[in-house]
Structure 1
């Protein structure tokens, strides 16, 4: 098979943007809407790219499209190119404007309540004109954003070791707790067990998260299934308001409730569930000055928090 000539002028940046959108959206209609182009234009661009490469990138089905092995491979390279271009543009701006750069941090529940806000506050004291953009999503969605350069770093639970294009750096270890409102009728009791608690409504992380899988395994080891009456979310604002207004029981990282007088931990062990909180970075991109400044602030903030954990 001849190697495609990707530098002969036929390959355009719109082709790279298209395969990234197609892989995430799963439909031509969705990708076209994201890129603000018509569906025929998206289909035509895809055909152009497949002609350039000489392979089929996506398989069409009744429910959308699925990347072929060629599509998965090319999408990974396309995202790497897009990430480098995004980083290059911002790096030039930051060199020209010193502290007026931008850093985009992705986060999920474990990092969004205490660590990241404190680190941002400390960073802004020394760099008031540096813009910090925070994007909250599931760990899986954030990894795609990191790969494509839409976020510079991810702050939150570390779901695995370094590898597969990412570097994971631990900042601290944290326990996981069962939490209710401070006025809940369970507060103050020391004879509570998991069987009784599953009769209450629960708030759980989504099924795509590692924490959710660990909770399911813990309940199964105790001969219990998931509570039938439950809400699934990783939005702390939603979790907190539901706890304050209902009898729900939530599974939350311990730091989230430590300084919240309106919430209380229940004396029920969830061991061996626990996790490391830290940074997830791309192993192939050079960090911008703004990203490095936020990372320094996160590391210093985590070190200050360590004696309280």
Structure 2
């Protein structure tokens, strides 16, 4: 009997789940507790898997259990199997009730509080039983989550290149804008240029982050060095401090458009060198759930309106 045929007849999803849990937990004892079974049962399952496949899946040492090269390969394929199974269940639920389903999204904080929030708002009004699991993080972690199939898609600013295993769809291009608190005297000034603001109290993205590179390019385009940052932080803290009207910052235009105009205002500066694509990233050769496809379709429609 061929190996593939033998595996097809004997392999159980539970066996794969056991292997994944053992590696995640770092020991068979901890895995047994997580799965509500005994350590001998876990050991027996792993031994049967190794015998069936004819290779060693785990290395056992004083520091715990680690996957071998073969083990990592099986786990990688197992993640795909469980993801496809989850997608199948989601598809069945969606076909049974098009108003239901779940979309798993990874996005930047900047995109989450602006464009993604707007898409969810519009979509949830039409599909009140649709649920959204949103991971707000940086682009590196978002794409890692996509590769590991923990999310259906990522959406946001396409500043860094994607891997060959991913595909992108650009929805629109947008610039950065300078924002300040609504009570700042700078609002009343006319014909402002970046050089007029170089000595103001700037709040900038973290050093060496993708968004910092955009801000740096904006100043460089006008022959200026990046100004001294009074605050370097992710968007939530900078947005909070803008309300004091003592600081200013540079953010994507969609973020400024989504802000409360009673608190945050845009300064009338044009920053064409900050124009960047904004879009959706998905995995090649991976089918999207109907709910995820629906989210992307509504994102396209909202992008058309935004243009």
TM norm structure 1: 0.71
Uncovered stretches (5+) of structure 1, i.e. residues with no partner: 23-27
Larger of the two Rg values belongs to structure? 2
> Relative to structure 2, which stretch is displaced further, 268-277 or 283-292?
268-277
Please say if residues 200 and 248 of structure 2, whose CA atoms lie closer than 8 Å, have aligned partners that are also in contact. no
Tell me the TM-score normalized by structure 2: 0.72
Q: What is the match of residue 276 of structure 1?
A: 277
8 Å CA contact 1:109–1:156 kept in 2: the answer is no
Partner of 1:13: 17
Residue 243 (str. 1) matches residue 247 (str. 2): no
Structural mapping, 1:1-309, within 5 Å: 9=11, 12-16=16-20, 77-160=77-160, 163-189=163-189, 190-194=191-195, 196-197=197-198, 200-205=201-206, 207=208, 209-216=209-216, 222=223, 224-225=225-226, 227-235=228-236, 238-245=237-244, 247-258=246-257, 260-261=260-261, 262-268=263-269, 270-306=271-307
Give the Cα–Cα distance (whole angstroms) in 1 for the partners of residues 299 and 269 of structure 2.
Answer: 31
CA deviations on 1:215-246 (whole Å, 9 max, x unpaired) are: 345556746356242231144xx332211025
Tell me, yes or no, if the aligned pair for 1:107 and 1:155 is still in contact at 8 Å. yes
Question: Using the alignment, how far apart are the partners of 1:6 and 1:247 within structure 2?
Answer: 66
Aligned-partner SS, 1:154: strand
Name structure 2 gaps, 5 residues minimum: none
Q: Measure how far apart 1:199 and its partner are.
A: 5.0
Could you give the per-residue CA deviations for residues 17-74 of structure 1, whole angstroms, max 9, x where no partner exists? Answer: 565x59xxxxx59xx79x968xxx8xx99xx69977968999x9x9xx9999888867
Cα distance in structure 1, aligned partners of 2:288 and 2:17? 22
Assess if the C-alpha contact under 8 Å between 1:180 and 1:248 holds in 2: yes
Is the CA contact (8 Å cut-off) linking 1:201 and 1:247 kept in structure 2? no
Determine the structure 2 residue equivalent to 1:25: none
SS of alignment partner, residue 279 of structure 1: strand
1:285 counterpart SS class: coil
Cα 1:122–1:217 change in 2 (3 A) is closer
Return the alpha-carbon distance in structure 1 between the equivalents of residues 75 and 130 of structure 2.
Answer: 32
SS in 2 for 1:164: coil
2:202–2:227: 8 Å Cα contact kept in structure 1? no
Deviation at 1:177, TM superposition (A): 1.5
Of 166-175 and 183-192, deviating more is: 183-192
**RMSD value, Cα:** 4.3
Q: Distance in 1 between matches of 2:170 and 2:115?
A: 13
Between Structure 1 and Structure 2, how many residues are aligned?
A: 287
